Chains A and B, each alone.
Chain A
Amino acid sequence: EVHLLESGGGLVQPGGSLRLSCAASGFTFSNHAMSWVRQAPGKGLEWVSGITGSGGSTYYADSVKGRFTIFRDNSKNTLYLQMNSLRGEDTAAYYCAKAPVAAIFGNWFDPWGQGTLVTVSS
């Protein structure tokens, strides 16, 4: 059974940094692209970033470009999101999600992890 478990969320001050992790199991991790999607409290879904199965290509939403970095360690079956220069508007639940193949585009997300909450506040 595919399982995705996020961790690393918490309370951080504006301008601070946080690294999220997503531990994957139940599938060959390197064969699948992965993405991070966030949801601010009471709001809709926002795609944040995606990475191909090899890790060779990465993509970002304009709202996080230059501040967030997605990367993966296929030897540890783990996806990461390094978040720097955090702002209040980054407050959200962050989900990792699996694509059906190694390519990012032309594909969908299934399943999603349970999410980890990031709160940016002083």
Chain B
Amino acid sequence: DIQMTQSPSSLSASIGDRVSITCRASQGISNYLAWYQQKAGRVPKLLIYAASTLQSGVPSRFSGSGSGTDFTLTISSLQPEDVATYYCQKCNSAPLTFGGGTKVEIK
């Protein structure tokens, strides 16, 4: 099975900072990757699909890039409401594996 590895597992950054989270697949998955945001005690929310397409209603400070095995979620200017855990997920074939998550906090 294809493994999904996220890094870092946690990060602390200042308001306004540019933040990047990496997701690496153990085999190529083309652009079949989604990103989700889960705030504490809340349900996961879709941010980006097809590696780089922003879900409707998601702030434009979020962006996704990558193809094949290496993907990145970027928050261009970190805001207080972005405190959450972020997960990547491969969508090409079973199992639809999630990455381990990246917890984002404010410094």
Residues of A within 8 A of B (CB): 35, 37, 44-47, 50, 59-62, 95, 104-115
Q: Which residues of B contact A111 (CB under 8 A)?
A: 43, 45-46
CA gap between A62 and B49 in the complex, in Å:
25
Q: Looking at chain B's contact residues, is the secondary structure mostly helix, strand, loop, or mixed?
A: loop
**Are A115 and B43 neighbours in the complex by a CB distance under 8 Å?**
yes
Which chain B positions have C-beta within 8 A of A59?
Answer: 94-95
Judge if B92 is at the interface, Cβ distance under 8 Å.
Answer: yes
Residues B101 and A47 in contact, CB atoms below 8 Å apart: no
Question: Does the CB pair B91–A106 fall under 8 Å?
Answer: yes
Q: Which residues of B contact A44 (CB under 8 A)?
A: 85, 87, 98-101
Per-position 1/0 for B7-27, Cβ under 8 A of A: 000000000000000000000
Asked whether B43 lies within 8 Å of A95 as measured between CB atoms, the reply is yes
Q: What are 18 A-B contacts defined by CB distance under 8 Å?
A: A37-B44, A44-B85, A44-B87, A44-B100, A45-B36, A45-B44, A45-B98, A47-B89, A47-B95, A47-B96, A105-B32, A106-B32, A107-B91, A108-B49, A108-B91, A109-B89, A112-B43, A112-B44
Contact A50 B94 (CB under 8 A): yes
**What residue in chain B is nearest A44 (Cβ atoms)?**
B101
Measured CA separation A107–B96 after assembly (Å): 10
- B67 interface contact, C-beta 8 A: no
A45-B101, A108-B89, A109-B34 given; A50·B44 CB < 8 A: no
